[in-house]
């Protein structure tokens, strides 16, 4: 119960008198927050999860009869940060917008005998937070919040008596926010998935609410943890993987000679040719869109690219690379629409050979099944990299970190063609912590 002359709050959803002023969206800051318009079936865990990214949650009172709740944070500063954040980003629970404001109450003192379930849930969640969340016990800025966890969840299904599809996972996890991407796979005879939200807050809410829950009665138990990956690379939209932000992706049934999006085609040309020199301009031929003119920084780089890439295999087809009679790729005249087929990469940040005397000049090798990886952040483990490269459509045969420097590693794909595809897809891939993965062919084997 609340003391000091404030109204008594009962855990059964009733209160001794109306909360005057609680319907105002502004008010004096308080570490107790009033949450309104909650969905009827929402749980204590889901409400507690709203506050966890901002600091320690110290108390909760659910008023289920009113579709409301009170949430108490450890500090007023954390509550201010939470209100500021959710005033810019509308919070949702189970796909329904909810409303968060300061409460008139400065402290939440509930009658524990009437609020036992909520208190038990709070104790369990606090134990999880203390073990897993670096934010616990830290000072949070008033102006912004940077959740410590990744927006990507790793999901394992235990006791899988019935099949679990990608669409079932999307339906379940969409209750906690917009799901951007899902990749499913089988490992060690277990069905697993990687699922990416747009916001780490949504991922944290989903983990707290769903970890340990059964999808079907007494089976298909969800085991959920955060992935160290911050972004998923999805190639195909099918029953195994899906990028909900890219409906144009192919299903993977065929082997397209050219990505449906011209921008993606440009990226592929520059990534592969960029192993052997700095690509300056690319022009995809109007009447033959499986062919392109590619201008390198100099003739030596063009010769290197031709020597190493001519005759290699990509998308099941042989690449033909020859020297062109043209000395330069002409940009379209101003006002002339060439349908976006010509692009200038002169200032591309992906150039490997801009710096005179760069070590990259000493590490130019023909395509091989073994790839050299560098710029790996300390938090990314072997398992994360194996999963990332397997999701390019190939098979990872071997992996080895450099003994003296874990920022670098060797990774072996099953074939040279798979390695080429992986390099195209993952060179400059964002691994988080301001680290973009560097991928090149290696002369070594594992």
Residue 31's pLDDT is what?
94
pLDDT reported for residue 134: 35
Across the strands, what pairs with 190?
A: 187
pLDDT at position 30, please?
94
What pLDDT sits at residue 214?
86
pLDDT tens for the 446 residues of the chain, in order: 233 333 334 333 334 333 433 444 457 899 999 999 999 888 888 888 888 777 788 899 988 889 999 999 999 988 998 888 788 777 888 778 899 999 998 888 766 555 666 777 777 666 554 444 433 333 333 223 334 468 999 999 998 877 888 988 998 898 888 899 999 998 878 899 999 998 888 898 889 889 988 887 778 899 999 998 888 988 888 889 999 888 888 887 543 433 344 445 556 667 888 899 999 998 888 777 778 889 998 888 889 999 999 999 887 788 888 888 888 998 877 666 566 778 888 888 778 888 877 777 788 899 999 999 999 999 899 999 999 999 888 999 999 999 888 899 999 999 999 999 999 889 988 888 788 899 999 999 88
Whole-angstrom distance, CA of residue 292 vs CA of residue 283: 5
Residue 416 contacts residue 368 (beta carbons within 8 Å): yes
Check residue 381 and give its pLDDT.
Answer: 92
The first and second tokens of residue 150, run together, are 């990744």
Are 281 and 329 in contact, with CB atoms under 8 Å apart?
yes
pLDDT at position 131: 42
What digits encode the pLDDT tens for the residues 14-64?
343 334 334 444 578 999 999 999 998 888 888 888 887 777 888 999 888
Radius of gyration over every alpha carbon of the chain, rounded to an integer in angstroms? 27
Tell me phi and psi for residue 339, to 5 degrees.
Answer: 60, 25
Q: Sheet holding 99-102: strands in order across?
A: 57-63, 68-73, 32-36, 99-102
- The pLDDT value given to residue 40: 85
Joined together, the tokens standing for residue 68 give 């409301």
pLDDT of 70 reads 93
Q: Extract the tokens encoding 91.
A: 């919070």
């Amino acid at each position: 119960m609340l003391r000091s002359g404030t109204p008594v709050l009962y855990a059964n959803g009733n209160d001794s008198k109306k909360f005057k002023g609680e319907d105002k969206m502004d008010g004096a800051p308080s570490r107790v927050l009033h949450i309104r318009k909650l969905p009827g079936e929402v749980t204590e865990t889901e409400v507690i999860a709203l506050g966890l990214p901002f600091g320690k949650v110290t108390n909760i009172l659910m008023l289920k009869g009113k579709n409301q709740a009170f949430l108490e944070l450890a500090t007023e500063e954390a509550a201010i940060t939470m209100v500021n954040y959710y005033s810019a980003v509308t919070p949702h629970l189970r796909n329904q917008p909810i409303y968060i404001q300061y409460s008139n109450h400065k402290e939440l003192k509930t009658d524990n005998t009437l609020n036992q379930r909520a208190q038990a849930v709070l104790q369990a969640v606090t134990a999880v937070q203390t073990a897993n969340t670096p934010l616990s016990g830290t000072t949070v800025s008033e102006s912004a919040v940077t959740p410590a966890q990744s927006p990507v969840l790793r999901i394992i299904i235990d006791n899988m008596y019935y099949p679990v599809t990608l669409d079932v996972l999307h339906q379940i996890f969409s209750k906690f926010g917009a799901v951007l991407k899902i990749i499913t796979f089988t490992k060690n005879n277990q069905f697993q998935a990687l699922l990416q939200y747009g916001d780490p807050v949504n991922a944290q809410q989903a983990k707290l609410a769903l970890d340990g829950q059964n999808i079907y009665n007494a089976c298909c138990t969800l085991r959920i943890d955060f992935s160290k990956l911050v972004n998923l690379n999805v190639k195909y939209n099918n029953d195994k993987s899906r990028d909900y932000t890219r409906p144009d992706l192919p299903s993977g049934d065929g082997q397209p000679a050219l990505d449906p999006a011209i921008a993606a085609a440009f990226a592929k040309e520059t990534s592969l040719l960029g192993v052997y020199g700095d690509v300056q301009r690319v022009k995809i031929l109007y009447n033959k869109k499986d062919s392109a003119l590619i201008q390198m920084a100099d003739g030596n780089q063009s010769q290197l690219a031709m020597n190493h890439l001519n005759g290699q295999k990509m998308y099941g087809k042989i690449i033909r690379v020859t020297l062109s009679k043209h000395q330069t790729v002409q940009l379209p005249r101003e006002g002339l629409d060439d349908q976006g087929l010509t692009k200038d990469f002169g200032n591309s940040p992906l150039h490997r050979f801009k710096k005179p005397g760069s070590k990259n000049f000493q590490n130019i090798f023909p395509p091989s099944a073994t790839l050299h990886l560098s710029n790996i952040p300390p938090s990314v483990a072997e398992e994360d990299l194996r999963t990332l490269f397997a999701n390019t459509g190939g098979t990872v045969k071997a992996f080895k970190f450099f003994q003296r420097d874990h920022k670098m590693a060797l990774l072996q794909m099953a074939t040279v063609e798979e390695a080429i595809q992986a390099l195209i897809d993952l060179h400059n891939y964002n691994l988080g912590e301001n680290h973009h993965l560097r991928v090149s062919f290696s002369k070594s084997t594992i």
